[in-house]
Amino acid sequence: MANEEREQLVQRAVEEVLLPLARLCVGHGLPFAKAEELFKRAYVRAAREARREAGARGSRDVSQVAVATGMNRRDVTRISAELSPRKVLRLSPATQVLTRWLSDPALHDDAGLPRKLPRQGEAPSFETLATAITRHVHPRSLLDELLRLGLVELTDAGEGVVLRADRVVPDQDDARLFGLLAANVGDHLAAATANVLHRDRRHLEQAVFSQSMSQESVQALRPLVQAQWKHLLGKMVPALERLIAQDRASGRQATQRVRVGLYSYHEALPEEGDEKQD
């Protein structure tokens, strides 16, 4: 394939990927100048990563990054001095409690749904669940955090704890919401990008889709997608916990991180001329 044709393909792909990011920025009032600066930082970081992977070192680093990105040396020098190591979103104890509750069959009723737990007492109870996750945070503190996030409710005069089925993501915690957006979308895009760059399909990144469904059919599809996520969660969490335990028992170094997800998305098909100016 000719370089010019490949560049056109890259540009079309980048434009599609950038549109949701632009919606996020516009929706939260982030001006273009600040978004542009963030893109410059990402360019510099990506160029430096590429040089490290290639084993490149030396005093000409700024010059080589400038050439690779098309940016001027002054911007590269400034941004390089400001860059800090990337942070990995860590699972909070409250999130681990929620995940275990959603995935452990012992904490489900006969219909396979997360059961109401007594706040204290022998298993299954919220107290024993919280203690199984961590002994460094008091169960009452974990319960208070889940209540603050709106993920659970108290019943039976405060003696029972119910998981709110309509809340999977804490909408009362902006830091967590944006953190999940960055982590989930970032890893999904990183998987797809790595597959294209390396041409070896090293990451599973597949989807099924339709471009001819009614709004009613889309609504009917939602329970099926939710059921698939429940099945995936129930299978993957115990498997991950088992593999982590085997790593520890074998003394293997934990140098890797993994994220397995499922997503669905729908929107109205664009009508011809939708983006034309009036």
* Residues 12-32: tens digit of each pLDDT: 999 999 999 999 999 999 999
Is residue 87 a part of any domain in this protein? no
Strand 160-163, strand 117-118: pairing: antiparallel
Count, residues in the chain: 278
pLDDT, averaged per 10 consecutive residues of the chain (278 residues), comes to 87 94 95 96 93 76 92 94 82 86 87 89 92 92 90 91 73 77 92 91 91 93 91 89 93 93 89 58
> CA 15, 20, 25, 27 torsion: positive or negative?
positive
107 and 153 share a domain? Answer: yes
| DSSP letter for each residue of 8-37 | HHHHHHHHHHHHHHHHHHHHTT--HHHHHH
Q: Which structural domain, as residue segments, surrounds residue 183?
A: 173-205
199 and 217 share a domain? Answer: no
CA-closest candidate to residue 114, choices 123, 103, 125, 122: 103
155 and 110 share a domain? Answer: yes
Cα–Cα distance measured from residue 126 to residue 130, given in angstroms and rounded to the nearest whole number? 6
Is residue 147 a part of any domain in this protein? yes
216 and 240 share a domain? Answer: yes
Is residue 72 a part of any domain in this protein? no
Q: How many domains does the chain have?
A: 3
pLDDT at position 165 = 66
Cα dist from 189 to 206, 208, 272, whole Å: 12, 17, 29
Find residue 118's DSSP bridge partners.
160
Find residue 162's DSSP bridge partners.
153
pLDDT at position 175 = 78
pLDDT at position 205 = 93
214 and 156 share a domain? Answer: no
Is residue 143 a part of any domain in this protein? yes
pLDDT at position 163 = 87
- DSSP E strands in 159-218: the ranges are 160-163
Cα–Cα distance measured from residue 21 to residue 36, given in angstroms and rounded to the nearest whole number? 12
Q: What is the pTM of this model?
A: 0.79
CA-closest candidate to residue 62, choices 98, 53, 71, 198: 71
157 and 215 share a domain? Answer: no
CB atoms within 10 A of CB 114: 19
158 and 100 share a domain? Answer: yes
201 and 216 share a domain? Answer: no
Q: How far apart are the first and last CA of the chain?
A: 38
* DSSP 8-state code for residue 212: -
CA-closest candidate to residue 145, choices 104, 108, 98: 98
195 and 154 share a domain? Answer: no
Q: Are 158 and 119 in contact (CB under 8 A)?
A: yes
Is residue 117 a part of any domain in this protein? yes
182 and 211 share a domain? Answer: no
Is residue 197 a part of any domain in this protein? yes
Q: Are 145 and 152 in contact (CB under 8 A)?
A: no
212 and 201 share a domain? Answer: no
Is residue 107 a part of any domain in this protein? yes
200 and 232 share a domain? Answer: no
Please compute, for residue 27, the number of CA atoms within 13 A of its CA located in the half-sphere on the CB side. 6
Q: Choose the final residue of a domain: 163, 188, 219.
A: 163
